[in-house]
Structure 1
Amino acid sequence: MLVQACSEPQEAPTAPQNEVEVHGAGWMNPSSANFHGKVLAQQNYNSEGCRECHGNQYDGGIVKSSCKACHTTFPHPEGWMSAGNQSFHGKVLAGQNYRLTECAACHGTQFDGGTSGVSCRTCHATYPHAEGWLDPSSATNHGALLAAQNYDAQECQACHGADLSGGTSGVSCKKCHTSYPHPDNFVAGPASHFVFLRDNSYDLNSCKSCHGQDYSVVKESTSCLTCHTQQGGPEACNLCHGNASGDATVLINAAPPEGLDGETSPTEPAVGAHTAHFNFFDFLSTEQVCQECHVVPNNFFAPTHIDGNNRVEPALDGPLANFVTEGGSRVPNGSYDANANTCANTYCHGNWGLRRTQSSNDFIFTAEVMTGNSAAPNWVTPGSVACGSCHGLPPTGHVQHEISSCTICHQGVIDAFGRITDKTKHINGKVNVFGMEYPMY
């Protein structure tokens, strides 16, 4: 590593008579803004300009003036070999994330001496790795180091090759890791790639680094698409949530069950009433049902898709959830309480009102406004919503009668037992009376 050091001030070398002085005033004065140490620091110790006169090894060059004339430990600072010193080379390397390009300039690309004639192996018997590099119990074990730097293996590639199959070192990771570049049981089990991705916020960019942007690059006889054959490959919605064995182009297969952690019970927040909603709104497209509660991402990496906490935040901003009634004055504002697992203030669960003055059947009203119950159903309690939950039987402000007589006015929508016979005419933003359909103002 090329690190410039400061020693005791020396007499400034003078240019031969009748020759030009190349350095400005104060070049050798530590208190001057033009002091060479300060100038080098300002340019991040880029000393290429010095080589032109002082030589590639700074040993004099054409001016016959070597850095070693003042800096006895050049090119390293005092304390470079002292483990207790702040300038100790190990500490300096750690401080710059073990970037070794400056070291290679003098010690060679393999650090076996280079132009300096000094090999790192002179002192470091396990060079280029630290003691304990292969000891799983050591803090300097290579696995622990890679984990600490989020498995960035660029430094490894310098010696072991871009594909880590040996490179100039001749040592391949496969020598010890037979399933390299993945750990054992990476396909399935507690160390599977799904678990790895889940624990790393589903960052598929780590897969792309080897398998390409479309996951099709074959490494060690396989690509991601070898197993992930459905449309979208590893980015298919139903691989993480929903029915992984179903057709990825059918969006309902992307809805739980299963949840991200394999949940299947409707009492789990990841599953809840998904199936109930799809079953009821089977007259809507699957995408419409999803969009009532969720912002459906247009791709895997969309900002609204994965935010790190692995828990969805329902938007509840679909057209049914926010349907405006009561002459434009009743504007639902849907919300979801993740602690109580309840939604509230949505049209579809009873936040609506009908004005008598806007109805052609005002005889059915007992108040100026007929209202729903604005229910707050529990997402994880099956059966928490039934007839009467979202609006009374009959609704508040409606003439009282038994449920068996609903069919008299609402024929084709409900039967004498209170069962919805045509779901397209229920929770649709309209009123169906006497076989006619009216806008729900």
Structure 2
Amino acid sequence: MRSSIVALGLLAGCFPGFDDVEYRTPPPFSDPQAGCAIGCHGSDTSNAPPVSLSGAIDTTHVGIGAHQQHLDPASTWHRPVACADCHAVPTDIASPGHMDDADGKAEITFGAIAGAGATWNGVSCTVSCHGDSTTGGTKTQPTWTQVDGTQSTCGSCHGLPPPAPHPAGTNCASCHPTMEEGSMTFRDAASHINGVVDVSGGATGGCTSCHGSANAAPPKDLDGNTDRTAPGVGAHQIHLQPSTWHRTITCSNCHVVPTSTDAPGHRDGDNVAELPFDALNPAGVYSPATTTCSTLYCHGNGRDNIGSISWLAPGPLACGSCHSTNGTGMSGRHRRHIAEEGIRCSQCHSTVIDANMGIIAPNLHVNGVHEVKLTTGTYNPATRGCSGLGGGCHGPQTW
């Protein structure tokens, strides 16, 4: 008689056609299958098994395990897992995959979020939800029947932070807008373990979330360094801040500016910045080992791309740091004019520099153009010739 009553109760729970009041209302944490979670898999007061099909109620029983921890809609750190993420949810009691195994054990049919290689061995799962061997977590194969919280702490599924090439910073909100700034608290728990890597430039938005504030590039690098002797900080501000002596350098002059977080050239290497340089520096090379840039136009002599400088060198640089001040090694007849005739830079580059060697138009300095504007006479860049000089300098000459 008892078995018949139980059977009727289960049927009432799984099929709306039965009128057993005890089993008619689905529990708030269940899938929307009319009554199924109540009749066999739970009650009105808790999600998933408070009682397994064999009558067990302890979480150490595999039929109970971590069901409630997964399905709880009030979780503060992950989206509620649905029954369909791990099981085939039947349309009726005889649906394939429901209870057609001879051993009476639940069939595990993982959904897409668990990953293509997801497995269950009767004790633990290997699923993307809990990370894998590449993510640096300490509990990437958690025991199903262990629900003491030790397998769900931050760092269980992925490292804090994950290993390279993930940035080494520890402020998750810098890149993940679903996190609270400077803490391990989620702004939106439903966005965690949802199959989507939520990266949109950080909680404050934009590239500056990872690469510094609006104060031109790193006051802080991805490792949290603020000292300019750290390669991730270096001379970024000296280059990118408005200058009184050179044009403002942009990120794209040295780096590929990505259109998205995963764009090629952004973070697809060994966690060391990639520097392809721009058209002004076609042969430019940066050596991480020596923190030195070489074969550059920018720090060259104006004639050849031979500039070389330490990325950690202090600034601003003095006149003569890149090209000589007496014309030695420079193009054409610089040396003769400057060293022998005493001609000032301002007499030929009047739109760029004044008589006291002060740069008056920073945007015209180190811009890839020879800005020649004579105080007297004209210069023809096509023939590289001067004419109409007056003042007894010389007649028409080729530079």
- TM-score bracket relative to the smaller structure: 0.3 to 0.5
More helix as a share of residues: 1
TM-score by length of 1: 0.43
Bigger relative contact order (CA 8 A; separation at least 6): 2
TM-score by length of 2: 0.46
**Structure ID, larger Rg:** 1
